[in-house]
Amino acid sequence: MKNLFFCLFSFLLCSSISAQGLEQQPAANFDQERTGIPKGKIDTIHYASKTVDTVRRAFVYLPPGYSKAKNYPVLYLLHGIGGDEEEWLRGGTPKVILDNLYADGKLEPMIVVLPNGRAMKDDRAGGNVMEPEKVAAFATFEKDLLNDLIPFIETNYRVIKDRESRALAGLSMGGGQSLNFGLGNLDTFAWVGAFSAAPNTKAPETLIPDPQAAKNLLKVLWLSCGDEDRLLRFSERTHEYLDEHGVPHVYFIEPGGHDFKVWKGGLYRFSQLLFKPVDKSIYGSTGG
């Protein structure tokens, strides 16, 4: 009997700990396709961009059981300097990761949009991706996102059109974009995530000129990076400024470099926090 109580107590304790806070390590096979579970669907869309004066391609992941009778929040998920709208699908298995999280009841239903963050006529990732014109196109994407892509999504899908129902996250160059555009447009985004943010990340004082506004308006601000990433400093300096100014954020440093192991883990952990009441115990997590 005593044993039974002990088991029950341990079970309740463990389940309450895992129901709260941050999942430190992805579950085994989190990125392996499972059979016999409901699957989401990937649409290809083409939207007219006034910013670029062209028609641009993006992908849209609809969750398992997507219903036109419901309205969904949206995560905009951005790629890095060497990629395009296909990068996450090629290297990050976001569909598998998200399908598995839904099967385990760990995600709030959401639409995920995978755009091309290089806002210029030739937005392919070919040639020298470090050319100044191509790097500048990652900054131009702010206008494309706000004025062209978001309105297209909000006209063509059943989505909730308020700041608390929009998240912006990305890897590397896309992480820098997420911080720059997310923190620069707190009237549009309440959930912001950067996985291995690149040197395009604005300097902290420019990025967060009004820490009190960030504190009041952000639901979750997420910074993660591999400890061996040579770009770690860009996450670290942002984290230090946020700490100095008392802006709550998750700073998750894990063993690893500048690669999809860290970015897949970022998507896995960050997506589970989205569009849910915020549990403050996540802020104690520092990675492992």
Phi, then psi, of 139 in degrees rounded to 5: -80, -40
Nearer to ligand FER, 47 or 76 (CB): 76
Give me the residues paired with residue 62 across strands: 41
Q: What pairs with residue 252 in β-bridges?
A: 224
Least CB distance to ligand FER at residue 10 (A): 43
In the complex, minimum distance from the CB of residue 230 to ligand FER, in angstroms, rounded to a whole number? 8
Position 135 contacts ligand FER (CB under 6 A): yes
DSSP per-residue codes, 52-96: TTEEEEEEEEEPTT--TTS-B-EEEEE--TT--TTHHHHHT-HHH
Instruction: Name the DSSP letter for residue 35.
Output: S
* Binds ligand FER (CB under 6 A): choice among 159, 168, 198, 242: 198
Q: What is the 3-state secondary structure (H, E, C) of 64-75?
A: CCCCCCCCECEE
Rounded to a whole number of angstroms, the minimum distance from the CB of residue 44 to ligand FER is 23
Check: CB of residue 172 under 8 Å from CB of residue 198.
Answer: yes
Cα dihedral angle (270, 274, 276, 281), rounded to 10 degrees? 30
Contact segment (CB under 6 A) with ligand FER among 17-25, 31-39, 54-62, 197-205 equals 197-205
CB of residue 89 to ligand FER, shortest distance in Å: 16
Residue 97 interacts with ligand FER (CB under 6 A): yes or no: no
56-75 binders of ligand FER (CB under 6 A)? none
In the stretch 147-186, what mask flags binding to ligand FER with x, by CB under 6 A?
A: -------------------------xx-------------
- Closest to ligand FER by CB, 134 or 249: 134
**Cα-atom radius of gyration of the chain, to the nearest Å?**
19
Shortest distance, CB of residue 185 to ligand FER, whole angstroms?
A: 21
Shortest distance, position 9 Cβ to ligand FER, whole Å: 47
Identify which of residues 219 and 258 has a Cβ nearer to ligand FER in the complex.
258
Give the H/E segment covering residue 209: none
- Does position 199 interact with ligand FER (CB under 6 A)? The reply is yes
| Residue whose CB is less far from ligand FER, 101 or 231 | 231
Among 200, 224, 238, 271, binds ligand FER (CB under 6 A): 200
Q: Is 137 an interacting residue with respect to ligand FER (CB under 6 A)?
A: no
3-state class (DSSP) for residue 45 = strand
Report how far residue 197's alpha carbon sits from residue 200's, in angstroms, rounded to the nearest whole number: 8
Shortest distance, CB of residue 171 to ligand FER, whole angstroms?
A: 7
Q: Give the integer Cα–Cα distance in Å for 185 and 163.
A: 9
255 binds ligand FER (CB under 6 A): no
- 193 CB-near residues (< 8 Å, 6+ apart): 167, 168, 169, 170, 175, 178, 220, 221, 222, 223, 224, 266, 270
Residues that bind ligand FER (CB under 6 A): 80-82, 135, 172-173, 198-200
